[in-house]
Amino acid sequence: MERSVILVKPDGVQRGVIGEIIHRFERKGLQLVGLKMLSLDDALLDEWYAHHKDKPFFAKLKAYMKSYPVVAMLWEGAQVVATIRKMVGITLAREAEAGTIRGDFAMSQQYNLVHASENTEIAKREEQLMFTPSEIFPWKKTDFPHVYLDEEIK
């Protein structure tokens, strides 16, 4: 099974949508295997956003991500990285599809509520950066036979 890292960004914490975001992923049938609140620092953000380091908005992005705590989550499911990206919507929130998290609750290019792992390789790197092994709980979710066919989760 795949895993994806979600951050509820500082604006999502301020806007009070932590519960809404968890609720959406839970209702979808995804499994929460890690959850914590933390403040991000320069060292972590430089690694996290290394691919954005030459972008004109990098300094602003870092200042924003340090402004208030974030909530980090690790979600598990079949092809969960792509599923979550679809549920989150595009970066420019005011143009994101209605029904997505950004489409329903945000308007900005920067203040877009959530970070979602971009692909499976990045998801693995982000899981290691964000969670220690003792912060990950691979519990048995007993409703999976009602969520997936056997062959979908092999």
Q: Which is nearer to ligand CMP, 83 or 112 (CB)?
A: 112
Q: Is the dihedral of CA 25, 31, 37, 38 positive or negative?
A: negative
Q: Is residue 61 involved in binding ligand CMP (CB under 6 A)?
A: yes
Q: Is residue 117 involved in binding ligand CMP (CB under 6 A)?
A: no
DSSP class of 51: G
Q: Could you give the CA distance from residue 61 to residue 7 in angstroms, rounded to a whole number? A: 14
Q: Is residue 94 involved in binding ligand CMP (CB under 6 A)?
A: no
Q: Which residues pair with 35 in a beta bridge?
A: 73
Q: Is residue 60 involved in binding ligand CMP (CB under 6 A)?
A: yes
Q: What's at 10, amino acid-wise?
A: P
Q: Could you give the CA distance from residue 11 to residue 8 in angstroms, rounded to a whole number? A: 8
Q: Is residue 110 involved in binding ligand CMP (CB under 6 A)?
A: yes
Of the residues 23, 52, 115, 146, only one is catalytic, namely 115
Assess whether 115 carries a catalytic annotation: yes
**Which residues participate in catalysis according to the annotation?**
115
Binding site for ligand CMP (CB under 6 A): 52, 57, 60-61, 91, 109-110, 112, 115
